Amino acid sequence: MSQIPEIDIYETQKRMAEGSLLIDVREQNEYDELHIPGSILLPLSELQERYSELPKDKPLIMQCRSGGRSGRATEFLLANGYEDVVNMAGGILAWSAADLETE
């Protein structure tokens, strides 16, 4: 398996400010409990059916609770023709631990 491209939470903030989309692949109940402002929910359980809803012309950052599910989502999208996709290492746990904004 090739290395999945990853960025940290601070690079995520920077890239979001520059127009990257943050895709949260956790389930609806997890998202409702806590999420990163501006993130878009697309659960990993629905990704195979719905991934075509994601734009191919914008950089995508995949995010979950700790980085596992979003890593699988990143790998799936890269295998299905998406080129500018990275995984946010550490997920929302790392984001929250750094006291960054959540909703």
Residue 55 included in any domain: yes
Above 50 in pLDDT, residue 1?
A: no
Which residues fall within 8 angstroms of residue 86, CB to CB, at 6 or more apart? Answer: 5, 6, 7, 59, 60, 61, 62, 74
What would the pLDDT profile of 22-69 be if each residue is shown by its tens digit?
999 999 999 999 999 999 999 999 999 999 999 999 999 999 999 999
93 band by pLDDT with thresholds 50, 70 and 90: very high
How many structural domains is the chain composed of?
1
Residue 1 included in any domain: no
Residue 31 included in any domain: yes
Residue 53 included in any domain: yes
Q: Residue 82: which CATH number?
A: 3.40.250.10
Q: What pLDDT does residue 2 have?
A: 62
Residue 103 included in any domain: no
Between CA 76 and CA 68 the distance in angstroms is 13
Residue 38 included in any domain: yes
Residue span of the structural domain in which 57 resides: 6-97
Q: What is the largest CA-CA distance in the chain?
A: 35
Residue 24 included in any domain: yes
Between CA 33 and CA 28 the distance in angstroms is 9
Q: If you search the block for the tokens 């734009």, which residue do you land on?
A: 55
Residue 102 included in any domain: no
Q: Which residues are catalytic?
A: 64
